[in-house]
Amino acid sequence: MPTSKAFLILVLAVLTPMAATSQDAATNLTLHNLCAYPVWPLITPNIGFPAIPDPNDAASRLDGGGEGLVTLSFPSGTWSGRVVARTGCSSSDDYDSPSPSSSSPAAVTRCDTGVPPAPVTVAQVSVHGSGGLAEYSVSLVDGFNLPVMVTPHGFEQGRQCPSLGCAVDLDVDCPRDARAPAGGCRAQGQGHFFKERCPDTRTTPTDVEATPQRCIQPGELKIVFCPDSSY
């Protein structure tokens, strides 16, 4: 009996780190801007979670036309937060510049869209959950300022890991009374309008999407701003 008990303890000691490693398998966050204009991403962790390391501020501003592409590493352990793409941002150095730019998130002083109460499309993600679970969604609860898709990559073949979000430019058909002065479509009273055109988004706080919004152990969650037809 003592020998069997010692063997069991040894097996558990070996398997426990393996399980933890599997659950916290490295997952990257990639941001890609296919819009015709620059965007200023803002990555905000939920309360109690650390910021995603970005020592060179590589994700603070992404040029348009597909040139803006950056990959960051999620912190180890469970993490959740949100990503938005602000547009028309200015810094303290170029406050009145017609073509504003910013090299640091802290330098941004104003943005046309992506900052409430202005309309904002929100990507919500969580990673390293139980069994390596990653969950993700695109929310239009706070309005729409540009198309956003979330696409998982690097998962095992056969797993259900759908791409989802809103690839449609809702500004084009936004009802006149919902249009924001600086661009974007306000959410108030537009739940049906949003849902009809982008069914795989959340349009109310209690909304449940038809498409499963989860993936087991993806190697990457890619958030694409203004996705093209390939998404």
Q: Which residue has the tokens 């259900």?
A: 160
Query: Which residue has better confidence, 210 or 60?
Result: 60
pLDDT of residue 23: 46
| Domains identified in the chain, total number | 1
Is residue 13 one of the residues assigned to a domain? no
Domain annotation covers residue 142: yes
Range of the domain at 181: 26-225
Q: What is the pLDDT of residue 10?
A: 44
**Is residue 231 assigned to a domain?**
no
Q: What is the pLDDT of residues 87-140, one digit of tens each?
A: 999 876 554 444 434 344 446 778 988 888 889 999 999 999 999 999 999 999
Q: What CATH number has the domain bearing residue 193?
A: 2.60.110.10
Residue 87 lies in a domain: yes
List pLDDT tens digits, range 130-176: 999 999 999 999 999 999 999 999 887 657 789 999 999 999 999 99
Report the mean per-residue pLDDT for the chain: 83
Check: CB of residue 201 under 8 Å from CB of residue 165.
yes
Question: Percentage of the chain with pLDDT > 70?
Answer: 80
- Kindly report which listed range (73-87, 132-146, 181-195) carries the lowest average pLDDT score: 181-195
Q: Render 161-227 in DSSP notation, one character per residue.
A: ---EEE-S-TTTT--GGGB-TTS-B--TT-HHHHHHH-TTSB-STT---SS--EEES-SEEEEEES-
**1 lies in a domain?**
no
Whether the pTM exceeds 0.75: the reply is yes
